[in-house]
Amino acid sequence: MSAETVSSSHVRERVHRRDGGRLRRLGRAAMFGPSRDGLPDAIEHLARAHRRHHPGASLDALRRAYDVAEQAHRGQMRKSGDPYITHPVAVTLILAQLGAGTTTLVASLLHDTVEDTDVTLEQVRRDFGEEVGHLVDGVTKLEKVDYGAAAESETFRKMLVAAGSDVRVLSIKLADRVHNMRTLGVMRPEKQKRIALVTRDVLIMLAERLGVQAVKTELEDLVFAILHPEEHARAARLVQEHGRMPDPLQPVAAAVSETLREAGIEATVRVRPRHLLSVHRASVRRGGLGPCDFGRLLIVVDEDADCYAALGELHTCFSPVVSEFKDFVAAPKFNLYQSLHTAVADREGRVAEVLVRSRRMHRVAEAGVIALGDPHRTVAEQPGPAGDDAERADPTRPGWLSRLLEWQAQAPDPDTFWAELRDDLRRTREITVFAEQPGLGALQLPSGAGCVDAAYARHGEDAHRCVGARVNGRLVTLGTVLRDGDTVRLLLAPEGASEPSGDWLDSAVTPAARIAIRRELAARRERTRQAVSPGAAVGDLPAGRPQGPPAARRPRPEHAVEIRDGHGGTPRLARCCTPIPPDTVTGFVVRGGTVAVHRADCPVAAGMAEGGRPAVAVAWRSSSSGCRVTLRAEALGRPRLLADLTDALADEGAAVVHADVEPPRQHRVRHTYTLVLPDATGLPRLMRAMRGVPGVYDVSRPLPAGAGRA
């Protein structure tokens, strides 16, 4: 069944009633009807559909699977009053019409046996093999008795994990939902709405990601009718009124067909009606629909190369609408979709949207991964020609599915998984970003992802240490949104020198990043709570937890300073002048009793002394501790200066905490970096490395312009 066949509401209902009657007859034939050549009458139509796509397929496994399913479900009835066996037969017919292989059809016939009958998974594996057993297990629901309210979300998690090794699990689930949505009218309105919402938020998005457009568009119309009945009825009326008049696209299609025939291009040209939700969206977007807006021309040619030949004839013999041209052949969508999109006007001024694709592209556009065959067969065994088809022969692990499997394992609870899944599936576009460093592969990220997302995709939990990024050679903030084709270098601080900020959640869009950040922030709060818990003795801490607060376990530069005059405050290195050994330092008591340690020549320290604050004697404990320092590089402006400077910093092990690049003045630029060094003795070597960068004529440790608060 074409997913874009447009019909009015009463026609759709009549079709469903006709299908329901046919399925009831099939159920009776299954129980009482004769068989011809060993094939039950109830699945002859299914076998014919299967043989259209796979002429040489053996039907023995289908017959055996049907016999098991019919016997297992015998006596069970659907809420509509039909024999239950009509449901797996209808689901399998949907898959057969889309071109699914024999293994998928066998599993589809058996998909409810383990869940609803006495047939066991071990029996399915023994009688039909491991592949069929894996598919049936993947779509079998978890029991509410065991999982309660989390049963639905955990069932989806289980299904997605199973799809990680065989994506055909999702194909069966989608076909199952199509038939359930077709027969949803027997349910209570509130249950219809609940199922429709899950279908909209998850199943339709999965169909889009898998490229199964025939399923996606039918599900969209079925959900549209339940969730927005008034808009659905209005769109149906528009289609019905349009159907009473001659279709203005037919003469355009005839002219296009004649043009291609004269050019020697073998092609099928037909008018492809919009489905109801598409009619509604177009009407809202355009503020109304013209006579040519209820459909598009679909041109199907024999070979991929003929697509561009047909496009050339269209743009030569008709007036092209340049703004409507999109090339999804040279740049396919991430769900394998390929077509040329354009729009042309004929001599009468009728504008027609046009899709141009080859027969192979059309098969994949309609059935997505289902059209790509069995992922466990070799490339040579796959149906269809070699070449481009061979490159896509294994659809088992699309990039988005691999990422989903990685983050779902970290989702702490079913609610988090369910919320993140729906949000992740809504992002139906992808970008590719490349690493600046050689040897690192490209990253596939959802559209809207930023540097934080790239960091967690590249480094996992090590991304907690990310302090900055360089995109296309320019230093940017971690909140910067990436674009397709960007080159990215992620800057990581040494272990323990940095940690994620709560602000990262505002820019992160991938579940992998959000889950990791939330988990780390929660762990940090727990560590802080344990450290400051009143009355907790060291012996009271839980077994296995490191004893003492994080500051005691992770030395900080401040611990290299000691207070000499017996003052009981805690030293803190001032960030205005960033003192390091062996600078001469002095201290002043600030709010909370903390002693702010400044360089002796710091203007802020001088201002405090002039204001009458008494100095506190401080000294360095050691000259080899880690330190925080601010450096300023003065240079002549040139291309790649920033890239070369940050390379020099990275080579010396310096972690960038903050960077500021002032606008060029008279071809001179000033870069100011706040850095964390693992060893203060490495500062002179770092400054020499920076001075060695071509164009840099001075590197210094800047002092604040004047006195202020510490």
What residues act catalytically?
115-116
Answer for the pair 165, 134: CB distance below 8 angstroms, yes or no.
Answer: yes
Number of alpha carbons in the 13 Å side-chain half-sphere of residue 347? 4
Tokens 């972690």, residue located:
655
Residues 642, 624, 493, CA angle at the centre, nearest 5°? Answer: 40
Give the span between the Cα atoms of 319 and 325, in whole angstroms. 12
Q: Nearest 5°: phi and psi at 374? A: -80, 120
The two tokens of residue 58 are 């053996």
The two tokens of residue 253 are 């299609």
- CA-CA distances (angstroms) from residue 184 to 116, 268, 668? 19, 36, 71
For residue 114, how many other CB atoms are within 10 A of its CB?
21
- CA-CA distances (angstroms) from residue 213 to 204, 225, 281, 336, 416? 9, 18, 17, 11, 29
Answer for the pair 328, 340: CB distance below 8 angstroms, yes or no.
Answer: yes
Residues facing 156 on adjacent strands: none
Answer for the pair 503, 451: CB distance below 8 angstroms, yes or no.
Answer: no
Answer for the pair 398, 157: CB distance below 8 angstroms, yes or no.
Answer: no
Q: Nearest 5°: phi and psi at 230? A: -70, -45
Give the span between the Cα atoms of 211 and 398, in whole angstroms. 11
Residues for the chain: how many in total? 710
**Residue 343 host element (H or E):** strand 340-345
20: amino acid identity, one letter? G
CA dihedral 695, 699, 703, 704 (to 10 degrees): 20
Strand 351-358 with 561-563, pairing: unpaired
The two tokens of residue 641 are 């200066």
Answer for the pair 481, 379: CB distance below 8 angstroms, yes or no.
Answer: no
Answer for the pair 603, 706: CB distance below 8 angstroms, yes or no.
Answer: yes
Show Cβ contacts of residue 267 under 8 Å, excluding neighbours closer than 6 positions: 257, 260, 261, 299, 300, 301, 302, 306, 310
Q: Is the dihedral of CA 415, 419, 424, 428 positive or negative?
A: positive
139: amino acid identity, one letter? V
Show Cβ contacts of residue 64 under 8 Å, excluding neighbours closer than 6 positions: 127, 128
The two tokens of residue 55 are 């002429």
Answer for the pair 494, 462: CB distance below 8 angstroms, yes or no.
Answer: no
Give the span between the Cα atoms of 3 and 220, in whole angstroms. 10
Give the span between the Cα atoms of 616 and 589, in whole angstroms. 7
Tokens 């040329």, residue located:
340
Answer for the pair 256, 269: CB distance below 8 angstroms, yes or no.
Answer: yes
Strand 351-358 with 340-345, pairing: antiparallel
For residue 394, how many other CB atoms are within 10 A of its CB?
18
Answer for the pair 635, 692: CB distance below 8 angstroms, yes or no.
Answer: no
